[in-house]
Structure 1
């Protein structure tokens, strides 16, 4: 892919961000952060100081539409999903000079529009949720982290009553703790599908059905419990997980809205803390972050905090690997806002640190 002169200059300007730390820098090395932008062919870079919470921009680091990005767990490789063509996934090598594209693969089939809503890396496979094409694909990885051709593609079925649910739209894909199932939260079908997984997807999927019009968006496992976040109803389903049968059973439903909220419901992101003691959710309808304490024996949830997100429309957020910071991509206000996270209490505190980024939609450390 040839870069335009404007984007080439933007990427070149960002190289110092990803270069070596000067000898005069503080002893604690800042972390690299990659920020996707919705509907723009720009991936931004930044440096985050885990000692102070300072976030410093480095501009555009890759000329690519980025609707989701994830790093390889062991290699210096970044995977970026986009809405280009039929839903393209690209791999980038992270080095001292920036990002270098090393491979790319289409997941949607010839002539099919695609938007990648989620990527997950499990061992030597990338699992791809292609929202617009209504499919989930498995892509094998080479020893250097480059992408091969898809080894399996499955298409969900179903629809819902909302105009945005005319057909299946996989929004999230994740592998269960046993490593034998891949579960797909399908926004359009009002279902969570359970596919058998051995590096490829197979079988007639077991399905958990949400109430019509829920719009499943995110699924997170905690042992034999799964938490499902629904976008359109902005509620949380606490589910019991059976790894032998691949079945989910409802235990409890919790609203993420306040009782007096009368606007359009919309929940977006959900992340479990590194120690699994707290669950964090973003509520776009109320521009809020909601914090839940996880019961140590039952995995039940208790709301302990509700705090403004620092901007407008908290599309996504990420917790720093050290567990002391949370960064929020506030899409409509065009900011990435930094919150301090107390690992003992789980509570968030706004720092006032914010970085201007056009329509941010995802944050990857």
Structure 2
């Protein structure tokens, strides 16, 4: 059948319009990890609209005990969750693996004991071959090798941080794999520990410890896009410390800034930290002051300048996340049982409250962009 040009043009226009409508209606899948001591039952799933910031279609994606931290694999095919407990298989916490189907649903692959008690964080190497689970009470990290099907292998490498320091009590709180190896923030040791991969085993790096002041309590951390600056948020003294990576591969202190308003007089504890995709703004959460603090990152020097802080419209902002578009910031308020959505201004970094939804004990937010 032959079409005249006007008819062909009409079909083309309708096709392009359909593609645009599909793109405009494309939602992100948002997974939410929770604590299950109350009314929560595990990992929840929402559909998030990157045009409006609306959240809908809540479902229980996976029943699980205390999935307080969840992490997607780099290829977005698998989701991993801690089971923050000391009762899995009798005396430890656990890590659960899920395969993600084409609609974003979670299909259980299977659990493994984390060796350490109360695992609270997961990191996955960029090549998808290693998973590190940091255990808070256990003061340790377990390094699992991952199979090609996403399953965790048996017999993980166990790094016992307690034996490295006999004065302070170890509380491993987060981890990350980089080109420099494995980094582990230890809140109890006031240090970020460094390891390098040596034939599949992680051993202390040349600069084995990045020290922070006594009582700082380093909790979470992030790197800039160039990989030459490290930002550590300290839970106990409510500060953010930035480090510069020297040519030798060692990290030295650049700057420490307070996260709380100078007039705030109550107790507050930092939790999470994230950098905007363009590297221009750094965000941190304050539990107690109940705010997100905002800093501008100088493009040349990397120095932090306070932009301001925004109320989280709730209590105890545990973790928060920037959506893949970078236009929204979502906060999980653990004690007030709500998730708050902010519109983010990419020019000045500020946040504008949009709306909130109720969910029991939300803790961790993880976006999956399905294209």
TM-score by length of 2: 0.83
Q: Is the 8 A contact 2:294 2:349 kept in 1?
A: yes
Task: Confirm whether residue 224 of structure 1 aligns to residue 257 of structure 2.
Answer: no
Write the distance in 1 (CA, Å) between the matches of 2:293 and 2:166: 27
* Residue of structure 2 in register with 1:285 after alignment: 288
2:158 pairs with 153, 163, 167, which one? 153
* Bigger shift: residues 199-208 or 35-44: 199-208
| Preserved CA contact (<8 Å) 1:127 1:137 | yes
**Structure number with bigger Rg:** 2
Deviations 1:305-341 (A, max 9, x none): 2110121111110110111111100111100000111
- 1:32 corresponds to: 29
In the alignment, the residues of structure 1 paired with residue 166 and residue 319 of structure 2 have an alpha-carbon distance, to the nearest angstrom, of 24
Q: Does 1:142 align with 2:139?
A: no
Aligned partner (choices 313, 318, 339) of residue 316 of structure 2 = 313
Give SS of 2:175's match: strand
Provide the C-alpha distance between the structure 2 equivalents of 1:217 and 1:304, rounded to a whole number of angstroms: 22
CA distance in 1, matches of 2:247, 2:176: 14
Distance 2:349 2:120 in 1: 28
Q: Which runs of 5+ in 1 are unaligned?
A: 1-23
1:116-265 equivalent positions in 2, closer than 5 A: 116-122=119-125, 123=127, 124-157=129-162, 167-176=169-178, 179-197=179-197, 199-203=200-204, 206-222=208-224, 223-242=227-246, 244-245=248-249, 247-265=250-268
Structure 1 residue corresponding to 2:112, chosen from 105, 114, 122: 105
CA distance in structure 2 between the partners assigned to 1:68 and 1:129 by the alignment: 10
Contact 2:238-2:260 within 8 A present in 1 as well: yes
The residue number in structure 1 matching 2:304 is 301
Shift of 1:25: 8.6
Alignment correspondent of 1:54: 54
In structure 2, list runs of 5 or more residues that go unmatched. Answer: 1-20
Shift of 1:59: 3.2
Matching of residue 348 in structure 1 with residue 354 in structure 2: no
- 1:325 and 1:237 map into 2 onto residues whose CA distance is 25
Partners in 1 of 2:356 and 2:36 — Cα distance? 21
Q: Do structure 1's residue 71 and structure 2's residue 89 form an aligned pair?
A: no
Query: Per-residue displacement from partner, 1:138-191 (whole Å, max 9, x unpaired)?
Result: 111122222112442211136799xxxx62011111123xx1321111011111
Larger displacement relative to structure 2 (197-206 or 255-264): 197-206
User: Which range moves more in the overlay, 203-212 or 222-231?
Assistant: 203-212
Q: Give RMSD over aligned pairs.
A: 2.2
Q: Quote the residue 1:364 is aligned against.
A: 366
Per the TM alignment, residue 27 of structure 1 is displaced from its structure 2 partner at its CA by 4.7
Distance 1:237 1:130 in 2: 23
